Chains A and B, each alone.
Chain A
């Protein structure tokens, strides 16, 4: 379905490209040994290099490079065997060196692509232009003192991957699908935690509009879009704004704009003329980075199964729908959980229990699957109890509720509460006879053709057996005894 904006003078198409900054999961920073964890006391994770003391020199963190290679492979991208770190020069108090070490002309990762899943169930390929490694800046804190600003350098020097997409995105939905998929891939690879609230994944959105079929329009870069919702809203607003300007006879200025979530609008931050001249040049403190084929291959061997591969396998091997498969693979832990439950069992039944019961309950409590009180093995045991007729599906729901509350094993709950299904035909027959005897009117009505009353009899028998009677036996006996 094409997303189009209806202007006063016709329809418009939106063209979107994304620049995502993803903080690399690593013990230490890109060029120093300081810790890179989030949430520590301000300025407690700052080495002499991060503070840019005189005479300090950067030393490249091999693990961060490996993470970039891993991510590149996960994005089906070309790994450049030679890349160059350059200095991006500008002054700001949270940039201690007065330059950011980044990659410019020669990034470590070149062209790639990912497949995004759209709400209507279709898929689309989005091109990746490049991925490069760079240092993060520190943080300026302006709200702690009336006249002073504070600087926290904990983040200064942490490794970032900047992942740039081709302008292949055509709607707000595609943009959020792209971000979701990218985040999913990064999490599967364990190269970025994808946490947009903590800022470990940040997106800048390049937006332009054009008449369908025309060449690219002038774009604006929108910053400060810190959630999927903000991405959606910012694109809708910005595209509309551009359409109104062009239809009003104006032109779009290439500029950087800021998304204001409170006012729900973008506003100009700096124009092209005011743009910094970053004076990029190769960092003479660092040699060009050469990556050996053997290293790339070694990393490739350690790649986990990626979301799309997993999705297709789930559909093929487990007979799941694309929708169910998509939900299950959304997180690697979730998919792993499901696979443990499904192993050696009815895969569809397992999927139902994970999707409907477990995820339903967790969602209600705003919890993730890693916080579940029920271990995958325990949920599997519950599926076993259903499959071998120890309990009915209905009883299983009660057992599940108890498991969810207490974390106990299902077998234990069934035993303690005496929930085992009654399969003794004689005992069930006795109840069936009682129910028929107690409801002569309904029996007569049923026999005279009111088939729907069958359910009433099943319910009555179930009730008397406290839910434990095997439903198949009840059905069989009732059919026999009720037939005229």
Chain B
């Protein structure tokens, strides 16, 4: 039997169909690998009992000829998705011990198609962060290391547990959420593939909200096609989410024809930022060459309002978060500090102790920008600029079909770096927030290693509902890049 944890989802589904192994065996292999890589702290809660039970049921379904699209595939679930009866924390102390009585629509969709849950993956607290260092349950460690250097690196954030787990082969795929880059940036840092679909594609029902107008769920996996398979199951209209789109879910994998002849690839000049490492610039150019070689046409485009995207994002996202997080008051669920001398004191102590520093910072910023006298200058102005950013993209998409950009301005950095300066940390999202502000689909995939042996990613941004084109173009890059590198620790384990 081959090393089951190194299979892609596509290969595993074939193997299960051919009875080369069972879903229980596949799950057991992952549970064993999870134990070995526990030091990465990728999971907040492991759920081996649930996984084995689901796997056994999956084997029965497959034997009965009733296997679903993802039957028997073991996944990690970002701990922002509410899972019925299983602790859901959003990596916050304030929700420690909270067990929802309901299943988020996205995870319910995955289970409907037979997926197996290995556990709840770690993340930045309330998905606020780019390094997975704000979790109340400890940092996640990237399985990748710089060549000849044992320093622990961040896996990116906020979905750092999911990306580290997929890269470390301790799940075949994982769910993530992306509010400003929380799927794409960790995918880049961990050398895997992830997609944030169009806003409204996946239901937000049952996902702990960070910034409602930006949050969108999406998958992580090790190949483009695996992402296509996962997204097909996760996506879909949900009447319980008023911002969910009532449109059919295509067979994304079928869109991966490999033919991109005549497709126009836009290269936005504003994504060449100061101080960006030459290696990233080189990687970007390499991506352009690959697509050109495959018959695509390269078009220079301009997105003039790009420089405002980060400040706009850091007004709108905290504003919504300050309101979304008001419900964590210790009254109905989660942690409450009981020593308060009156109601106000109880609120203050509960929230001061329950929320970490970064969450408190964003609540303060958000409260400030919404307050009387500042609302017009910050929030309203930010919304106007957000519209301009959207218009930029729409103009660009009159000249091209897809945009190609780097995913992040750097490779994975050591834990602790950028910690002293939140604004520096926020710069990690510079290429990704635009997609959230405009609601566009964005896919990140690994394109190669830098000189230190760390993966670098490329990002594709598409028109609204243009996921099929993204998957098709990404498939072409994936083939050309032939990214087969593994973190050293994973090689050793294999």
Q: Which residues on A are within 8 Å of B, measured CB to CB?
A: 48, 51-60, 87, 89, 91, 93, 96-99, 151, 277, 279-281, 284-287
Contacts and interface: CB of A to CB of B under 8 A. Distances in A.
Contacts of A60: 242
A207 to B, nearest CB: 25
Nearest to B325: A98
B331 A89 contact: no
A55 B332 contact: no
A434 B237 CA distance: 94
A286 B209 CA distance: 14
Given A53-B102, A98-B326, A285 B331 contact: no
B379 A281 contact: yes
Contact of B367 (A52, A279, A280): A279
B118 interface: no
A59 B347 contact: no
A440 B329 CA distance: 97
Q: Chain A interface mostly helix, strand, loop or mixed?
A: loop
Interface string B62-103: 000000000000000000011000001010000100101110
Interface of B: 81-82, 88, 90, 95, 98, 100-102, 104, 204-209, 211-213, 239-243, 319-320, 322-323, 325-327, 329, 331-333, 343, 347, 367, 370-372, 375, 379
10 contacts: A51-B332, A53-B332, A54-B208, A54-B209, A55-B81, A57-B241, A98-B325, A279-B367, A280-B375, A284-B213
Contacts of A96: 327, 331-332
A279 B371 contact: yes
Contacts of A52: 327, 332
Given A87-B323, A91-B347, A281 B206 contact: no
A99 B326 CA distance: 8
Given A57-B204, A58-B242, A285 B212 contact: yes
A286 B204 CA distance: 12
Given A279-B367, A281-B375, A55 B243 contact: no
Nearest to A98: B326
A98 B323 contact: yes
A55 B213 contact: no
Contact of B329 (A48, A59, A98, A279): A98
Q: In the A-B complex, list the 6 residue pairs whose CB atoms are closest, starting with the nearest.
A: A98-B326, A284-B212, A284-B213, A279-B370, A52-B327, A55-B206
Contacts of B213: 284
A198 B81 CA distance: 40
Contacts of B372: 277, 279
A188 B314 CA distance: 50
Scoring B88, B212, B239 by chain A CB atoms within 10 A of each residue's CB, the highest score goes to: B212
Nearest to B205: A57
Nearest to B208: A54
Contacts of B323: 87, 89, 98-99, 279, 281
Given A54-B90, A98-B327, A284 B242 contact: no
A195 B206 CA distance: 37
Contact of A55 (B207, B239, B322, B325): B207
Nearest to A85: B242
A55 B333 CA distance: 13
Contacts, number: 97
Contacts of A87: 323
Contacts of A48: 101-102
A283 to B, nearest CB: 8
B104 A277 contact: no
Contacts of A55: 81-82, 100, 104, 204-209
Contacts of B326: 89, 91, 97-99
Nearest to B244: A57
B331 A93 contact: yes
B322 to A, nearest CB: 8
B354 to A, nearest CB: 13
B334 to A, nearest CB: 8
Nearest to B238: A57
A56 B102 CA distance: 10
Given A55-B82, A98-B323, 6 more contacts: A55-B207, A57-B205, A57-B240, A93-B331, A99-B326, A277-B371
B370 A89 contact: yes
A59 B239 contact: yes
B493 to A, nearest CB: 35
B211 A54 contact: no
Contact of A54 (B242, B327, B343): B327
A279 B320 CA distance: 11
A97 B322 CA distance: 12
A97 B329 CA distance: 9
A39 B104 CA distance: 32
Nearest to B204: A57
Contacts of B332: 51-53, 96
Given A93-B331, A279-B323, A281-B319, A53 B371 contact: no
Contacts of A287: 242-243
Contacts of A99: 323, 326
B208 A279 contact: no
Nearest to B101: A48
Contacts of A57: 204-205, 240-242
B88 A279 contact: no
B85 to A, nearest CB: 14
Counting chain B CB atoms within 10 Å of each CB, the highest count among A56, A60, A284, A287 belongs to A284
A59 B325 CA distance: 19
Nearest to B81: A55
Contacts of B331: 93, 96, 151
A441 to B, nearest CB: 90
Most chain B Cβ neighbours within 10 Å, of A54, A89, A96: A54
Contacts of B241: 57, 59
Nearest to A46: B332
Nearest to A279: B370
A58 B240 CA distance: 8
B204 A54 contact: no
Contacts of A59: 239-242
A326 B379 CA distance: 52
B133 to A, nearest CB: 22
A286 B242 contact: yes
A54 B88 contact: yes
A262 B240 CA distance: 47
B286 to A, nearest CB: 38
Contacts of B327: 52, 54, 96-98
A93 B333 CA distance: 12
Nearest to B333: A53
Nearest to A278: B372
Contacts of B379: 281
Contact of A56 (B205, B239, B329): B205
A93 B326 CA distance: 11
A57 B243 CA distance: 10
A48 B104 CA distance: 12
